[in-house]
């Protein structure tokens, strides 16, 4: 990662923001990540809604996909999954 | 306008991007993501100073995929008033990019400090003037961003850093301010309470708030693992318990022929039908560190009883208002 | 070729309201406070009678007035407000935000003392209290200047090299409630002169777009700006103030072409060979000019420097105007309690510091809480300056003109 920060002349007037927080990955905040057993998943999408990070997206087939680079490991998805198909697993 | 059901809305682009710096397990982004999924189209938002604002806009990064402005702490409603007035003026004059929008969802997000306390005047003024905007109160029941100080929205007996559970005084001495009633008394067309545990209810009410002309008010329950001291994975289950104990009932209030008409929402309506299903408030309190002094070193039945009585009393009043 | 103009009898507040009606901003958000009330009353009438199509937002406080203007201006609207004294004090927090977010809001300040104890009359303690907030400040001597500045302010604020909010300052009651002859331009000339608000293009987090809240390309305004970026954004404002030195005279020159009335950052009067001179702001300058004429008739080489633009502070113009004057008196209509002197005095001294040969300078605080400063008092100030000049030393520089010791 580059550490050089832009000088005032490189920054937009109005102090508006220049980058999306999608460039700021929060995946290293947590120690556990969800592992989803898709065979048990009923595609209810609740994990997508309950994820504070928006780190569980729903793919074209209607199944959840975890974006580990944003997941902070809170475990709400595993706690709330109605069919208990999500498990929090310690990452190496 | 996207159809509002869980499956459809799950594919809708996020209004609030990942990479924000809210605490793990914080309910702010859960609720805000749901609300933004319910917008009808063009949207402009403003946030009062607070956790949501701080964690989503740290220069040079922004999590806002919609136009967004932070002005100050006490003026979210006034800032939104200006945005809405600008849109109205530009529509009238046929000027600038906002002129073409038939609808513009103008949203003001503010916390309990920014609503019950420092922002109440600006909120009242904006409601009285009748701006077409939606005010979202994100109520985590204390000034969390500055380190968990008590607000007018902090419940009775909760320990905060300015209402600590001391040897003499057991947490906050005052009851939570009835903000919804204060707002409803302004005679605005739509008020609703939101709980993240019921996503469809959150999105349906949000959509309704956007659709109704004039000022609308959404009061969202926001669990705070850090400030309330509970495990981060419990945010949704604890929120659910808040409604199941009637600590935070879910309802809507519309204005019909000039009268407020209350209607209980799903989970609260179910309790009204089956009063025995109402859970004791102790169950909700005991799972949070901020209420631990009610249970240890000795159980404070006097305080627990008065909290239960307060909940029962308010629930009864709500049932009466809802004609149940 | 200047336009055919209509002579109207207007007080200062009406001059603001009438000029603003001709500008027809998108929103006016304001809260009544004496002596600004005539502005909001007149503007409400214009709105009620359909003479403008501005949205009038009758807010519940000055804090919300400026907050609404911030929201509206960020959404691309021309936003106007007006206040005085405690109203400006209540807005104080938002004055910094408006300029920090580079929102070209125009605000009339009907100068009134900030108590306590409460006083509704004129001095400059309100706008002086906001002097470091990043707003351009124009101080008016009479209603004509008020009218003209209420038009040109928009062009200064919205200039792409500036993008700073502007305060048009007029003395409470002395100007706000005093009827004067004002030459007014036809509506069309004013609307052509102010044109449409310009927008600069910026590269935001979702792409290149105009600097405004627009759902097509969202921008984030007012982020959390910490140790690593805040300072650079302040450099932007410093640069904008520098640019204002260039832009303000350009706009004034353009306005002179349509109105026939010329303005400058500073207005020296009979300064060529002056031995004693007064520097000041606002309506007192008319009284000083009258006294200068009298003294000149008596053979006293008196002069006047009226500062019209106080922010940005025109240091180099001030040096040019004062460098050869033996004794200079600075008229301050506000206090900086605990400081060595009034704000205009201190800044003037700072501006002259690098001169090898400096004028003798004394500070004359006057008019606090609306205390009348008539020609006799000004004559006394000149006499005191003549004494300083003759003695070759200032002694105690602080003088409180017209106050009972």
What pLDDT shows up at residue B75? 98
Considering only CA atoms, which of B65, C236, B21, C77 is closest in space to residue A15?
A: C236
Q: Alpha carbon B160 to chain centroid distance?
A: 19
Q: What is the DSSP string of B256-304?
A: ETTEEEEEE-HHHHHHHH-GGGPPPHHHHHHTSGGGGGGTSSS--HHHH
Q: Give chain B positions within 8 Å (CB) of A23.
A: 19, 61
What b/e string do you get for B166-186 counting C-beta neighbours within 10 Å, with b at 16 or more? eeeebbbeeebbebbebbbeb
Residue C31: per-residue pLDDT? 98
- Cα distances from C211 to residues A21, B92, B277, C200, in angstroms, run 20, 22, 54, 6
Asked if the Cβ–Cβ distance from C196 to B95 is below 8 Å, we say yes
CATH of C266-401 among 3.30.70.580, 3.40.50.920, 3.50.50.60, 3.20.20.150: 3.40.50.920
Collect all residues of chain B within an 8 Å Cβ-Cβ radius of residue C27.
Answer: 82, 85-86, 89
Does residue A46 lie in a domain region? yes
pLDDT tens, residue by residue, C112-155: 999 899 999 999 999 999 999 999 999 999 999 999 999 999 99
Other beta carbons less than 10 A from residue A2's beta carbon:
4
Compare CB distances from B232 to A21, A49, A74 and report the shortest one's residue.
A74
Residue A92 has pLDDT above 80, yes or no: no
Model pTM above 0.95: yes
Determine the distance in angstroms separating the CA of C74 from the nearest CA of chain A, rounded to an integer: 10
Q: How far is C161 from chain A (nearest CA, A)?
A: 10
Is A13 domain-assigned?
no
Structure confidence at residue A2 (pLDDT): 58
Beta-carbon count within 10 A of C196 CB: 10
Asked whether residue A12 is domain-assigned, the answer is no
C222/B57 touch (CB, cutoff 8 Å), yes or no: yes
CA distance C333 to C34: 18
pLDDT above 70 covers a percentage of chain B that reads: 99
Structural element, H or E, at residue C210: strand C207-210
Domain boundaries, chain B: 6-321
Listed in order, strand segments (DSSP E) in chain B are: 43-47, 61-62, 68-70, 105-111, 134-139, 190-195, 216-221, 251-256, 259-264
Instruction: Please tell me the predicted confidence (pLDDT) of residue A62.
Output: 96
* pLDDT recorded at residue A89: 98
Interacting residues of C190 by C-beta distance below 8 A, sequence separation 6+: C19, C22, C23, C151
Q: What is the pLDDT of residue A76?
A: 98
Q: Is the pLDDT of residue A8 over 70?
A: yes
Hey, how many other C-beta atoms are within 10 angstroms of the C-beta on C355?
A: 12
Residue A2: inside a domain: no
Taking the CA of residue A6 and the nearest CA in chain C, the distance in Å comes to 9
Count of positions (residues) in chain A: 92
Burial classification of residue C146, based on how many CB atoms lie within 10 Å of its CB (0-12 exposed, 13-18 middle, 19 or more buried): buried
Domain count, chain A: 1
A4 Cα to chain C: minimum distance (Å): 11
Instruction: List, for residues C208-220, the tens digit of each pLDDT value.
Output: 999 999 999 999 9
Sign of CA dihedral B77, B80, B86, B88: negative
The pLDDT, as a whole number, for residue B25 is 98
> pLDDT, tens digit, for every residue of C32-74?
999 999 999 999 999 999 999 999 999 999 999 999 999 999 9
Task: Say how many Å lie between the first and final Cα of chain C, rounded.
Answer: 54
Please give the angle made by the CA atoms of C78, C79 and C82, to the nearest 5 degrees.
145
Contacts of B101 in chain C (CB under 8 A): 215
Dihedral Cα B18, B24, B26, B32, nearest 10 deg: 10
Chain B residues in contact with A80 by the CB 8 A cut-off are: 236-237
Pick the closest to residue A48 from C267, B77, B34 (CA basis). B34
What is the chain C residue with the closest CA to B93?
Answer: C53
Q: What was the pLDDT predicted at B2?
A: 55
Chains touching A by CB (3 or more pairs below 8 Å):
B, C
Kindly indicate the confidence band of residue B277, based on its pLDDT and cuts at 50, 70 and 90.
Answer: very high
What does residue B5 show for φ and ψ, rounded to 5 degrees? -145, 165
Mean pLDDT within B72-76 = 98
Average pLDDT score over residue span B132-159: 98
Please indicate if any CB of chain C lies within 8 Å of the CB of A82. no
**pLDDT over threshold 60, residue B1:** no
Residue C208: per-residue pLDDT: 98
Q: Does A5 touch chain C (CB under 8 A)?
A: yes
Class in CATH terms, B6-321: alpha beta
3-class SS at C272?
Answer: coil
Chains that touch B (3 or more CB pairs under 8 A): A, C
* Average pLDDT in chain C: 98
Q: Chain A: nearest CA to B127, how far in angstroms?
A: 29
**Domain-embedded: residue A18:** no
Tell me whether residue A3 is in a domain: no
The residue range of the domain holding A70 is: 27-90
Quote the mean pLDDT of chain A: 96
Contact C211 A13 (CB under 8 A): yes
The confidence band for B3, taking pLDDT boundaries of 50, 70 and 90, is low
Q: Which residues of A touch B26 (CB under 8 A)?
A: 52
- ipTM of this complex: 0.97
Task: Show the tokens assigned to B45.
Answer: 């938002």
pLDDT tens-digit readout, B284-315: 999 999 999 999 999 999 999 999 999 999 99
Mean pLDDT for each consecutive 10-residue tract of chain C (405 residues)? 88 98 98 98 98 97 98 98 98 98 98 96 98 98 98 98 98 98 98 98 98 98 98 98 98 98 98 98 98 98 98 98 98 98 98 97 98 98 98 98 97
Mean pLDDT of chain B: 97
pLDDT at A87: 98
Domain C6-200+224-259 sits in CATH at: 3.40.50.970
Of A22, A45, A50, the CB nearest to B19: A22
Q: What is the enclosing helix (H) or strand (E) of C311?
A: strand C309-311
CB B268 within 8 A of CB B249: yes
In a domain, A37, yes or no: yes
Average of per-residue pLDDT across B138-145: 98
Q: Which residues on B lie below 8 Å from A55 (Cβ)? A: 18
Task: Residue window 30-59, chain A: list those with CB within 8 Å of chain C.
Answer: none
Interface of A with B (CB under 8 A): 15, 17-26, 29-30, 43-46, 48-55, 58, 62, 67, 70, 72-76, 78-80, 88
Give yes or no for a cis peptide into C35 (omega within 30° of 0). yes
Using CB atoms within 10 Å of the CB of residue C173, give its burial: 0 to 12 exposed, 13 to 18 middle, 19+ buried: buried
What pLDDT is stored for residue B116 in this prediction? Answer: 98
Q: Work out the minimum CA distance from C27 to partner chain B, whole angstroms.
A: 6
Phi, psi for residue C48 in degrees, rounded to 5 = -65, -35
What pLDDT, on a 0 to 100 scale, did the predictor assign at position B6?
A: 95
Domain CATH for A40 = 3.30.70.20
> Where are the CATH 3.40.50.920 domain residues in chain C?
266-401
pLDDT digits (tens, 9 = 90+) for B183-229: 999 999 999 999 999 999 999 999 999 999 999 999 999 999 999 99
Average pLDDT over residues B84-109: 98
């Amino acid at each position: 990662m580059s550490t050089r920060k832009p000088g005032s002349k490189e920054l937009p007037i109005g102090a508006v923001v220049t980058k999306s927080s999608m460039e700021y990955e929060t995946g290293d905040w947590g120690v556990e990540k969800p592992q989803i057993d898709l065979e048990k998943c009923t595609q209810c999408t609740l994990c997508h809604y309950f994820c504070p990070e928006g780190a569980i997206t729903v793919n074209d087939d209607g199944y959840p996909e975890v974006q580990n680079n944003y997941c902070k490991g809170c475990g709400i998805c595993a706690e709330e999954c109605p069919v208990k198909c999500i498990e929090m697993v310690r990452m190496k | 306008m996207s159809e509002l059901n869980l499956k459809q809305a799950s594919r809708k682009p996020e209004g609030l991007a990942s990479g924000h710096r809210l605490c793990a397990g914080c309910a702010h982004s859960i609720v805000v993501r749901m609300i933004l999924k319910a917008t009808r189209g063009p949207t402009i938002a403003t946030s009062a100073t607070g956790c949501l604002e701080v964690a989503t806009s740290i220069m040079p990064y922004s999590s806002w995929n919609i136009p967004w402005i932070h002005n100050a702490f006490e003026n979210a409603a006034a800032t939104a008033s200006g945005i809405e007035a600008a849109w109205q003026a530009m529509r009238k004059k046929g000027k600038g990019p906002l002129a073409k929008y038939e609808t513009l969802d103008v949203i003001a997000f503010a916390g309990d400090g920014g609503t019950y306390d420092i922002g109440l005047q600006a909120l009242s003024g904006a409601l009285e003037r009748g701006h077409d905007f939606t005010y979202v109160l994100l109520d985590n029941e204390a000034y969390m961003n500055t380190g968990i100080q008590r607000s007018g929205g902090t419940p009775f007996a909760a320990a905060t850093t300015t209402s600590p559970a001391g040897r003499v005084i057991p947490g906050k001495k005052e009851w939570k301010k009835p903000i919804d009633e204060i707002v409803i008394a302004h005679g605005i067309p739509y008020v609703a309470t939101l709980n993240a545990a019921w996503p469809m209810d959150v999105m349906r009410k949000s959509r309704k708030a956007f659709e109704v002309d004039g000022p609308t008010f959404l009061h969202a329950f926001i669990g705070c693992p850090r400030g309330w001291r509970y495990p981060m994975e419990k945010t949704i289950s604890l929120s659910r318990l808040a409604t199941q104990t009637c600590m935070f009932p879910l309802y809507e209030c519309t204005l019909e022929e000039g009268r407020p008409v209350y209607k209980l929402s799903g989970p609260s309506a179910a309790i009204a039908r089956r009063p025995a299903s109402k859970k004791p408030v102790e169950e909700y309190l005991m799972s949070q560190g901020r209420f631990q002094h009610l249970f240890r070193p000795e159980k404070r039945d006097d305080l627990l009883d008065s909290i239960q009585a307060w909940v029962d009393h308010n629930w009864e009043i709500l049932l009466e208002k809802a004609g149940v | 070729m200047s336009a055919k103009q209509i002579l109207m009898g207007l007080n200062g507040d009406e001059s603001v309201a009438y000029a603003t009606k001709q500008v027809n901003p998108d929103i006016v958000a304001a809260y009544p406070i004496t002596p600004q009330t005539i502005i909001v009353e007149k503007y409400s009438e214009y709105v009620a009678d359909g003479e403008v199509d501005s949205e009038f937002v009758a807010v519940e406080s000055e804090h919300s007035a400026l907050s609404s203007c911030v929201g509206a201006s960020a959404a691309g609207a021309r936003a106007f407000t007006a206040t005085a004294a405690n109203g400006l004090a209540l807005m104080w927090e938002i004055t910094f935000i408006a300029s920090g977010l580079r929102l070209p809001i125009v605000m009339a300040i009907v100068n009134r003392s900030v108590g306590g104890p409460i006083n509704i009359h004129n001095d400059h303690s309100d706008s002086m209290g906001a002097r470091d907030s990043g707003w351009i400040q124009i101080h008016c001597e009479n209603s004509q200047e008020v009218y003209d500045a209420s038009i040109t302010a928009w062009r200064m604020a919205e200039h792409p090299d500036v993008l700073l909010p502007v305060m048009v300052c007029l003395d409470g009651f002395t100007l706000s409630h005093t009827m004067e002859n004002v030459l007014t331009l036809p509506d069309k000339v004013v609307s052509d002169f102010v044109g449409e608000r310009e927008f600069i293009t910026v590269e935001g987090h979702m792409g290149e777009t105009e600097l405004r809240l627009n759902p097509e390309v969202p921008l984030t305004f007012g982020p959390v700006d910490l140790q690593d970026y805040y300072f650079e954004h302040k450099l932007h404002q410093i640069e904008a103030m520098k640019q204002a030195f260039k832009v303000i005279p350009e706009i004034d020159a353009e306005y002179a072409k349509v109105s026939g009335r010329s303005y400058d950052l500073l207005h020296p009067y009979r300064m060529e060979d002056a031995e004693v001179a007064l520097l000041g702001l606002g309506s007192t300058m008319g009284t000083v000019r009258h006294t200068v004429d009298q003294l000149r008739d008596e053979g006293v080489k008196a002069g006047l420097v009226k500062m019209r633009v106080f922010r940005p502070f025109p240091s180099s113009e001030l040096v040019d105007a004062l460098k050869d004057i033996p004794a200079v008196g600075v008229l301050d209509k506000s206090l900086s309690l605990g400081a060595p002197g009034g704000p205009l005095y201190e800044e003037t001294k700072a501006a002259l510091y690098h001169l090898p040969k400096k004028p003798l300078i004394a500070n004359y605080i006057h008019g606090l809480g609306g205390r009348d400063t008539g020609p006799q008092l000004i004559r006394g100030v000149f006499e005191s300056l003549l004494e300083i000049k003759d003695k070759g030393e200032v002694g105690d520089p602080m003088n409180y003109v017209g106050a009972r010791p």
